[in-house]
Amino acid sequence: MALQDVCGFLETLDDISPCTYLPNEMGYMWRTPFEFDGDSAFHFLFPPQQCSRKNRAPTLFSSTFSSLSPHQQPFQLSHGTTTLGFIFQDGVIAAADTRASCKGLICCPISQKIMPIHSHLVVNTSGSGADCMLWERILTREMRLYQLRHRKRLSVNGAAKLLSMMLHPFKGTDVCVAATLCGWDGEETQETLQSCMEIADVKEAVEQDSNVSAISDESAQGSVKMASINEQDEISKDTQALNPTVSNQNTKNALSTFGERSGPRVCYVCSDGLQLKGEIISVGSGSPYAYAVLDDGWRWGMTVDEAVALAREAVFRATHWDAYSGNNVDLFHITAHGWRRRDREDLKEEYYREREREKKKIKEREKERQKREGDELVEGEGDIYSVHCG
């Protein structure tokens, strides 16, 4: 458009270095929808206008507009969050805080960052909230289609690959999604089918969700539906149940589990293309603090209680130090039987409880010290040690 050209409208001039791209006759770098296969899953998802990629063609008028300030975002997209996921002998723990921030403002103190995709997979998301919601839904849809077409669930690594491929065309644009897929790979066995009848537990947990957070009402109902659909699938696959590898998983260590077809998995996918499988993944501005706690306490042979306590503590420490994380902590535990959700917990109370615990500990230590001094018959030292801190 001639007027757009003249005004430099929609142009980002952050990179004025000489470019080697050839503009089309309009001087813009349009991405045509026909670059990709018609039957790929995402052919309709192209950004409708030009992408602000790093290297842009200098149009006829760009050099004269170098004095124009670049197009400003209304607010900064931030990764303000702490999410984490790790595997251990008894499944996967996924935990996240619940603060959605927007530069200096807390937009929502009770957002839900962990979304179930299906009965054995949840995704922790960080990055831009809108992008995450959209890509969660796209991933859910694609996984459901895969399951219907191939009659088996896509593995966690496969889901990560799928998401990574879908995000690749948007590399260099402002799409900002950093997702951690936490799930249990595997075929259903007779055991798990029967215990899936205890999906009542899962449904209960989901109903608790809808009491706790009003925002995730829709998603909670959605996941109940999904759980029941999967139930029916599993019942129909009853006759095709394969050998029970699941029960053996608990006795094997992490390294051998990676080679097995089933077991706990954690995968990280980022919109800039990074895709990683691992044992401990933490993402967000609070992740360094969380990593410090996780690296210290993680063992493959942890019990469920230990793992849950570790995850809670990691998120708690991160929310203490990081301004962009806070409010509550959500915790999901995924096993061969599916995901279970812990009640959302307010970390403010945890902070006060810890203060109380510390006070008690100091008092106890003080008492012990005085007892010890009382036993020793050395004079003088008592005066020095009676000066205490706290």
Annotated catalytic sites, by residue? 81
C-alpha distance from residue 103 to each of 97, 98, 303 (Å): 17, 16, 39
Interaction mask 48-77, another protein, x per CB under 8 A: -----x-x----------------------
- 168 is a contact residue toward another protein (CB under 8 A): yes
Q: Which of 70, 104, 273, 301 binds another protein (CB under 8 A)?
A: 273
CB of 347 to another protein, least distance (A): 22
Distance CA 348, CA 357 (A): 14
DSSP tag of 31: P
Q: Are 160 and 267 in contact (CB under 8 A)?
A: yes
Among 241-249, 280-288, 333-341, 361-369, which window interacts with another protein (CB under 8 A)?
280-288
Q: Name the residue nearer to another protein (CB basis): 102 or 165.
A: 165
Based on the shown chain and the rule CB under 8 A, indicate whether residue 270 belongs to the binding site for another protein. Answer: yes
Q: How far is the CB of 296 from another protein (least distance, A)?
A: 15
* Residue 299 contacts another protein per CB under 8 A: no
Choose among 285, 315, 324: nearest CA to 297: 315
Binding status of residue 276 toward another protein by CB under 8 A: yes
Candidate ranges 37-45, 274-282, 329-337, 368-376; the one touching another protein (CB under 8 A)? 274-282
One-letter identity of residue 15: D
DSSP symbols for 290-305: HHHHHHHH--TT--HH
Given a contact cutoff of 8 angstroms between Cβ atoms, the answer to whether 27 and 56 are in contact is no
Buried b (16+ CB within 10 A) or exposed e, 34-60: eeeeeeeebeebbeeebbbeeebebbe
Q: Can residue 174 be called a binding residue for another protein (CB under 8 A)?
A: no
Strands 280-283 and 263-270, bridge-based pairing: unpaired
Considering the complex, state which of residue 107 and residue 276 has its C-beta at the smaller distance from another protein: 276
Among 15, 28, 31, 146, binds another protein (CB under 8 A): 31
Residues at the site binding another protein, with contacts judged by CB under 8 A: 20-22, 29, 31, 53, 55, 164, 168, 171-172, 268, 270, 272-276, 278, 281, 287-288, 291
